[in-house]
Amino acid sequence: MTALSISNLQKTYANGVVALKGIDLTVEQGDFFALLGPNGAGKSTAIGIICSLVNKSRGRIEVFGHDLDSDPAAVKQCIGLVPQEFNFNQFEPLEEIVANQAGYYGVERKEAFRRAEVCLRQLDLWDKRREMARELSGGMKRRLMIARALAHQPKLLILDEPTAGVDVEIRHAMWDLLREINRQGTTIILTTHYLEEAERLCRHIGIINHGEIIECTSLSGLLNRLSAENFELNLRERLVDFPDQSIDGFALHQLDDCTLEVEVAKGQSINSLFTTLSERGIEVMGMRSAQNRLEQLFMDIVSSSRRESAE
Amino acid sequence: MKQASLNRIAFQTIYIKEVLRFMRIWVQTVVPPGVTTALYFIIFGNLIGERIGEMEGYSYVEFIVPGLILMSVITSSYSNVVSSFYFSKFGHHIEELLVSPVPNWIILAGYICGGVTRGVVVGVVVTLVSLFFADVSIHSYLLTLLVFVLTSVLFALAGFINAVYANSFDDISIVPTFVLTPLTYLGGIFYSIQLLPEFWQNLSLANPVLYMVNAFRYGILGVSDINLGVAFAIILLFIVVLASFSLSLLQRGVGIKS
């Protein structure tokens, strides 16, 4: 079943800014979908329209078969939103914020508080349940927004940059939680500027730029398009005056005394390079990808889209 | 889930949230009207009032009791909704409701009933305070309660509209200061319009607060400058117009959606 279907979605703001130029997008049930794009590309506008926070100019949106125009209540019942900005009442206790949200979706008060407990425990905020939201740290506030979005058990969870400003440990914990939520059957749409996050979590990716979807495919399909990948090799001993050169068909470039960068073409085996380097007395202690693969592709796709727009 | 059940629970949730909001800060929301009214009674009722003598068969302090109670109700109902709804816009937590399946009329009803409840709580406090200064007996409980609630609904709706259009904290204090307070003070709280010259009497009739104060005064004291039927017609007309306008604002997303 299709979780989200968008066709010809357009948005022109009152000041004349065209945020969406007629996008089409489909997200299947159970998917973990990343909606990526540079700042101002139209991601938040699209999410705002799906969640009824922004009025659309034209187009059609269906969520689990319910049309947003003819049955907005059914659409809203399916969606849980974690917005980019903190949008809870800072002067309310956490427990009430989460329970009230469940109440807005028709969950009886007693059950709403029970769900609030489950969600707050899941997000490790139960101990803070009676504290006012303003007293939380930034990371806790982000987690509170996720707990609130989960209170009515949505079938589609939309997260707009949920890990912005969150420390590494919490970010990894949130990734685990999101994977688990997705594994339990909730469809997730994620926007993020951390492309590593999208690469680790998502199965499908849509890239939006200047109000248009310029790419929509599976993550694996996208990564397959990489013609080459750069790796950094950490060396045991210092290397002096190592000119850029090609060894066994690999282009090598010295980054510093103990690091070499190597470009590996798609389908090329790297084993022979290690053998040759070893023969030359260069011992490799470790290697890592020089750039996040998705980041590399994202930059290429967005740049190419910009060039096309300019032409 | 049936829509009726969702509506009931959502309304209950918004209402409880609204009541808890003003009860959490009761020192700011409930106590001040009691203190202000006590001062009015001391100054206008006892110190100055004794020199004024009787008005429409009642001592001056008794005459101003209904008006002072209603003034507190008007101010509290209005300020509760205007500040709560504007603050929810300002802090973006109105989005919690906009993304949910709660119909607009339930959102409006929740906020209005929250405002009315504050009006009732403050009204009770002010009434209790007035008992220390005047011997008040109610002429018609039903009429008093009806005017009390309808006036509260009317001004809660007015506060809602103010909050929808407000873009800053200044905007939520301009209307109460420059419109609501003059209308209330000139609405016959402290005097009978029979005391005014004809021109000012006629001009006073254009003030909607005059009808509410007099209807309320009739409920408590049994005296009024205004025909009760006209007063109720005006109050109900205002409620219908303001409620319809508020709903259309919510429907169009004015001030809350881009």
For chain B, first and last CA: distance in Å? 30
Classify domain A228-293 by CATH number.
3.30.70.1560
Task: Measure in Å the smallest separation between the Cα of A3 and chain B Cα atoms.
Answer: 17
Kindly report the CATH class assigned to A2-223. alpha beta
Q: Which of B9, B24, B102 sits opposite A107 (nearest CB)?
A: B9
| CB-based contact A106 B1, cutoff 8 Å | yes
Domain-located, residue B258:
no
ipTM, 2 dp:
0.89
Give me the pLDDT at residue A229, please: 79
Give the best residue of B13, B29, B250 to mutate against chain A (max A CB count within 10 A). Answer: B13
Q: Which of B9, B99, B258 sits opposite A79 (nearest CB)?
A: B99
Is the minimum CB–CB distance between A104 and chain B shorter than 8 Å?
A: yes
| CB-based contact B17 A73, cutoff 8 Å | no
Domain-located, residue B257:
no
Task: Measure in Å the smallest separation between the Cα of A311 and chain B Cα atoms.
Answer: 32
Give me the pLDDT at residue B83, please: 96
Is the minimum CB–CB distance between A155 and chain B shorter than 8 Å?
A: no
Q: Which residue has the higher pLDDT, A286 or B110?
A: B110
Give me the pLDDT at residue A311, please: 65
Give the best residue of A64, A97, A104 to mutate against chain B (max B CB count within 10 A). Answer: A104
Mean pLDDT per block of 10 residues along chain A (311 residues) reads 96 94 96 93 94 95 96 96 94 97 97 97 94 93 95 96 84 92 96 86 93 90 77 87 80 88 83 86 86 73 73 65
Percent of chain B with pLDDT over 90: 76
| CB-based contact A53 B99, cutoff 8 Å | yes
**Distance of alpha carbon B12 from its chain centroid, rounded?**
22
Enumerate the residues of chain B whose CB falls inside 8 A of the CB of residue A14: 258
Give the best residue of A96, A100, A144 to mutate against chain B (max B CB count within 10 A). Answer: A100
Measured between alpha carbons, how far is A126 from A121 in angstroms, rounded to an integer?
5
Q: Where are the domains of chain A?
A: 2-223, 228-293
Q: Note the pLDDT tens digit of each residue in B62-85.
A: 999 999 999 999 999 999 999 999
Task: Measure in Å the smallest separation between the Cα of B3 and chain A Cα atoms.
Answer: 9
Is the minimum CB–CB distance between A285 and chain B shorter than 8 Å?
A: no
Measured between alpha carbons, how far is A200 from A192 in angstroms, rounded to an integer?
12
Domain-located, residue B86:
yes
Give me the pLDDT at residue A244, please: 76
Q: What is the 3-state secondary structure (H, E, C) of chain A?
A: CEEEEEEEEEEECCCCCEEEEEEEEEEECCCEEEEECCCCCCHHHHHHHHCCCCCCCEEEEEECCEECCCCHHHHHHHEEEECCCCCCCCCCEHHHHHHHHHHHCCCCHHHHHHHHHHHHHHCCCHHHCCCEHHHCCHHHHHHHHHHHHHCCCCCEEEEECCCCCCCHHHHHHHHHHHHHHHHCCCEEEEECCCHHHHHHHCCEEEEEECCEEEEEEEHHHHHCCCCEEEEEEEECCCCCCCCCEEECCEEEEEEECCEEEEEEECCCCCHHHHHHHHHCCCCEEEEEECCCHHHHHHHHHHHHHHHHHHC
Provide the domain count of chain B: 1
| CB-based contact A55 B257, cutoff 8 Å | yes
Is the minimum CB–CB distance between A76 and chain B shorter than 8 Å?
A: yes
pLDDT value at B176 more than 80: yes
User: Bridge partners of A160?
Assistant: A191
Structural domain that includes position B95: 3-252
Please report the number of interchain residue pairs, chain A to chain B, with beta-carbon separation below 8 angstroms. 87
Q: Note the pLDDT tens digit of each residue in B9-47.
A: 999 999 999 999 999 999 999 999 999 999 998 888 778
By a Cβ cutoff of 8 Å, what residues of chain B touch chain A? 1, 3, 5-6, 9-10, 12-14, 16-17, 20, 24, 87-88, 91-93, 95-103, 253, 257-258
The stretch B94-121 carries a mean pLDDT of 97
Tokens describing residue B35? 């203190």
Tokens describing residue A23? 């996008």
Measured between alpha carbons, how far is B116 from B120 in angstroms, rounded to an integer?
6
DSSP-assigned letters across all residues of chain B: --HHHHHHHHHHHHHHHHHHHHHHTHHHHTHHHHHHHHHHIIIIIIIIHHHH-EETTEEHHHHHHHHHHHHHHHHHHHHHHHHHHHHHHHTSTTHHHHTSS--HHHHHHHHHHHHHHHHHHHHHHHHHHHHTT-----S-HHHHHHHHHHHHHHHHHHHHHHHHH--STTHHHHHIIIIIHHHHHTTTSSS-GGGS-HHHHHHHTT-HHHHHHHHHHHHHHS--SS-HHHHHHHHHHHHHHHHHHHHHHHHHTTTT--
Enumerate the residues of chain B whose CB falls inside 8 A of the CB of residue A109: 9, 12-13, 16
| CB-based contact A106 B92, cutoff 8 Å | no
Enumerate the residues of chain B whose CB falls inside 8 A of the CB of residue A131: none
Give me the pLDDT at residue B48, please: 84
Give the best residue of A49, A68, A89 to mutate against chain B (max B CB count within 10 A). Answer: A89
| CB-based contact A108 B9, cutoff 8 Å | yes
Is the minimum CB–CB distance between A74 and chain B shorter than 8 Å?
A: yes
The stretch B116-121 carries a mean pLDDT of 97
Task: Measure in Å the smallest separation between the Cα of B169 and chain A Cα atoms.
Answer: 17
Domain-located, residue B85:
yes
Q: Please give the model's pTM, rounded to 2 decimal places.
A: 0.87
pLDDT value at B180 more than 80: yes
| CB-based contact A54 B93, cutoff 8 Å | no
